[in-house]
Structure 1
């Protein structure tokens, strides 16, 4: 099956591991982009960025320059009634005064005097979790259609969830390795700064924390609520998550109240801990899709497309893989309720030869995003360190079918800006620019197969083709929200000059010996040719002398 051809536009660049982009759902159509170090920037509908950040809490956030470090600023969500109460919520790593690493979930308010500035003094701590290891920090915060806040925590880190008898994820008395659900608009009788929704599944279980909504998750990296079909509203409120695997499978799940997602008994559809796996009381729910190491190594959960501009994409769940930069889509078969994978390829020169469209992207896919209009984006970087300013934000465009002119127009509510606006300056070359370059780059035209930034063939072919071919023009290096321990082994897959500089990050595949043979062969011929020519010359001279002697005699 051929891949789904999409194009991209570059929306922002120069970001330090952009971990998320959210909107305030206030009809201003602003985009808030957060960097792993703890800085949030405001992007306006005209593409410009405000010079002063919305929030800068670098002094509190625990982040390091280590490649693939999963700690840092990880989550953010605006209150559903933000327009009226100016509240939003953040999720980040920090170190307390006793040097204990923790996750903190806080509520903040936006300044009444400036809609583009948070008030850092308004921070109200809702919840803190002690982190036994540096990795698997989860990080997603979101509000679903029920108005409650959902929090997605990692299992505590290390490998194989080694905490306690069955691990944190299976232990309902801990908040790690869970999907939590709380009501931020109330307070608990026991003094907690939030209320427990009365229909949470384990409120009457004395052995479970009442915040737990679902359990058995390893390290869900990026979850999203489905807006539902624009006409029928079918699918509305479903929560999709990418759960990062241990060493064999990556999975996509739909979150169901009270269910067990299997970790550490299972990884994907397979057993991980055999004893736990065969325990009949497990009662786990299977992923809607899982993939193995031949496809990718660290899933980045995405979104169901519900925008207006690309109608053919409606209902497709679009996601990616952090480690190899692969983009994929899942389509639901309405009759069987099964989900089928399709590869996405970016950058057929014919399909994307329109103004502003690009055909390549930075490799490490950190996060996906949806703007207020429902259009889809992703963030990636070419160098996975929280302090490296190599992250970019891209928007998906379907060249096959666009909405009729004028259909998707909206009028953003104007916002007063006190800070200077910095206009967007693109760094990636567009397809048109590449096509118009001198003939050295013309081979782009070659075949009708898409020249994609990532392995873009169907999954069967992709198994044979190592993902060493991200297009050279714009590949730059990206962040982690996920699997630090595997980045080293993988990051050197492509050979742009930029990546050669960071080759020490990773183990590289040995270069094929062909070029050596070729160059040796050429040099050998170069040496031999003059010799042959000399011999031939000498023979000719000899013959001429002989014929002269004969004629003279």
Structure 2
């Protein structure tokens, strides 16, 4: 695995910044995700981190296979709320029930009482269900505001031009499509719904409106984010920014306000889309903080306001992008005029950014942005224009032109207290850093025996030379008895006579290098002693040699 790539980017007032590629990630979800909701309970935080993905798989009204909901062929025992309409059959219902009991095994009786119902609702996805007339415009998002309420961003129902009813779904407050919803997940409503309506929701007292509606007139909001506020003054804290995908002329960025009408389908961006609705005096719509045409991009991807520590120059910038052309952009608020000014972000060196065709050195299609606990920003992109793409990349935004002083950005994550059992996390694959920090593999010790066809080593040559000299010395000995001297074959080894009562195996393993050397030295000494004895004519030695 290669080392992470580091490249630069700059805006109109930032000469250089960099983009760091962090990791490769498998693409999950889709560009038009289902409209669904979930919530958490502090007593089962660990369990949710492990199992809440099941809820996302069972979202409605699009099922896991992106098909429509259906009526189960047999009655459901666990997720009984879906026995008439849903994505769950008997087999899946049994699987969810088993997972539910597995989670409860990690909780004490108090945890069962406090969170058992919540866990079941999450696993069965029985919080809020929407029926949508078309397959597209399900881009919404779920997030908690600083007020503790859950915000849901719902598309207008799909197709083109919001053709549902006289004014479209987005302008019809009696339906939940084309809206920003706000609900209280800590409790149930008197009519049995697994959530309550916040008492200050703007249309609670309107009999012609759904009480969940917080804002309306949106088309297909693709990625929203809550502003943390300035780290020092906390200015801007709690604002919700959204990128709303346009029809065929304009893309826009909005700040969500209570009871706001964002104009669709009467308006697209700052311009009229439906002329009759656009000139209606009762429209009173909230204008976007920024809109751009098709020459700039074709599908906005909402981002975040940077509130991190590592790159001070980026503080206060709303950074977002475009899905189709891969353009990264930023908005900075002019506090005097309360208007937002656009700045382009270029990835690469200053020289590369001078040429529009060379501004991208990352996967083109920007699917989403992300923020970590420290406020640093990331974005995800793929090389294929669809969230069906099986692979993508995760990038971190870094500005090398001005970095925070060393030691300033030591961020300690908040410790989460849990009462359940801890489950050790074992990753399935190694990270890039783990590969880089691995010690080099140790080389195995050299073996003394030479393999067939391999070049002989110096030790092997020396051994062969000594062996041949020993053979020659033994064959030159004078024959002092009637016994024949053992012969040697050309290119073969010397065959020693068999000893009495000993079996000689057909194949004998080669002796080790140390044993071979010692035996060769012993044989050489013995040979010299025998020669000396022969020169002196020692009779005892002769008799010993003749055996």
Whether the TM-score (by the shorter chain) exceeds 0.5 is: yes
Distance 1:315 1:114, change over 3 A: farther
> In structure 2, what is the equivalent of residue 542 of structure 1?
none
* Residue pair 1:101, 1:130 contacting (<8 A) in 2 also: no
1:422 Cα shift? 1.9
Deviates more, 1:88-97 or 1:140-149: 88-97
Deviations 1:396-446 (A, max 9, x none): 0011111111111134559853433522249xxxxxxxxxxxxxxxxxxxx
Does 2:218 align with 1:217? yes
Q: Distance in 1 between matches of 2:410 and 2:196?
A: 40
Does 2:442 align with 1:422? no
1:347 Cα shift? 1.6
Deviations 1:210-251 (A, max 9, x none): 000000000000000000000111000000000000011100
> What secondary structure does 1:276 align onto?
helix
Deviations 1:315-373 (A, max 9, x none): 10000000000000000001110000000011218999xxxxx9721000000010011
> In structure 2, what is the equivalent of residue 205 of structure 1?
206
> In structure 2, what is the equivalent of residue 370 of structure 1?
371
Deviations 1:23-65 (A, max 9, x none): xxxxxxxxxxxx11xxxxxxxxxxxxxxxxxxxxxxxxxxxxx
> What secondary structure does 2:276 align onto?
helix
1:83 Cα shift? 7.1
Distance 1:329 1:418, change over 3 A: closer
> In structure 1, what is the equivalent of residue 521 of structure 2?
none
Distance 1:112 1:190, change over 3 A: closer
**Which consecutive residues of structure 2, in runs of 5 or more, have no partner in the other structure?**
1-10, 73-83, 89-95, 108-117, 354-358, 417-421, 434-547
Does 2:20 align with 1:13? no
Deviates more, 1:1-10 or 1:257-266: 1-10
Distance 1:351 1:222, change over 3 A: same
> In structure 1, what is the equivalent of residue 133 of structure 2?
132
> What secondary structure does 2:297 align onto?
coil
> In structure 1, what is the equivalent of residue 488 of structure 2?
none
> What secondary structure does 1:374 align onto?
coil
Does 2:182 align with 1:181? yes
> In structure 1, what is the equivalent of residue 530 of structure 2?
none
> What secondary structure does 1:126 align onto?
coil
Q: Distance in 2 between matches of 1:406 and 1:76?
A: 40
1:7 Cα shift? 1.3
Distance 1:322 1:159, change over 3 A: same
> In structure 1, what is the equivalent of residue 12 of structure 2?
2
Distance 1:271 1:141, change over 3 A: same
> What secondary structure does 2:126 align onto?
strand
> In structure 1, what is the equivalent of residue 498 of structure 2?
none
Q: Distance in 2 between matches of 1:15 and 1:3?
A: 35
> What secondary structure does 2:171 align onto?
coil
Distance 1:236 1:170, change over 3 A: same
Q: Distance in 1 between matches of 2:242 and 2:306?
A: 14
* Residue pair 2:218, 2:244 contacting (<8 A) in 1 also: yes
Normalized against structure 1, the TM-score is what?
A: 0.61
Name the structure with the higher helix share. 2
Q: Distance in 1 between matches of 2:306 and 2:104?
A: 34
Distance 1:395 1:278, change over 3 A: same
Q: Which has the larger radius of gyration?
A: 2
Deviates more, 1:208-217 or 1:411-420: 411-420
> In structure 2, what is the equivalent of residue 32 of structure 1?
none
> In structure 2, what is the equivalent of residue 232 of structure 1?
233
> In structure 1, what is the equivalent of residue 78 of structure 2?
none
Does 2:142 align with 1:141? yes
1:145 Cα shift? 0.3
* Residue pair 2:219, 2:265 contacting (<8 A) in 1 also: yes
> In structure 1, what is the equivalent of residue 399 of structure 2?
398
1:391 Cα shift? 1.0
Residue from 67, 70, 73 that aligns with 1:97: 70
* Residue pair 1:103, 1:128 contacting (<8 A) in 2 also: no
Deviations 1:447-500 (A, max 9, x none): xxxxxxxxxxxxxxxxxxxxxxxxxxxxxxxxxxxxxxxxxxxxxxxxxxxxxx
Distance 1:102 1:161, change over 3 A: farther
Q: Distance in 2 between matches of 1:103 and 1:306?
A: 40
> What secondary structure does 2:129 align onto?
strand
1:73 Cα shift? 6.0
Q: Distance in 2 between matches of 1:207 and 1:378?
A: 40
> What secondary structure does 1:312 align onto?
helix
Does 2:293 align with 1:282? no
Q: Distance in 1 between matches of 2:43 and 2:178?
A: 29
Deviations 1:164-200 (A, max 9, x none): 0000000000000000000011111111110000100
Q: Distance in 1 between matches of 2:409 and 2:87?
A: 40
* Residue pair 1:240, 1:253 contacting (<8 A) in 2 also: yes
1:157 Cα shift? 0.6
> What secondary structure does 1:324 align onto?
coil
Distance 1:159 1:351, change over 3 A: closer
Q: Distance in 1 between matches of 2:256 and 2:87?
A: 22
* Residue pair 2:215, 2:260 contacting (<8 A) in 1 also: yes
Q: Distance in 1 between matches of 2:189 and 2:134?
A: 30
Deviations 1:518-539 (A, max 9, x none): xxxxxxxxxxxxxxxxxxxxxx
Query: What are the equivalent positions in structure 2 for 1:65-84 lying under 5 Å apart?
Result: 70-72=31-33, 79=40, 81=42
> What secondary structure does 2:127 align onto?
strand
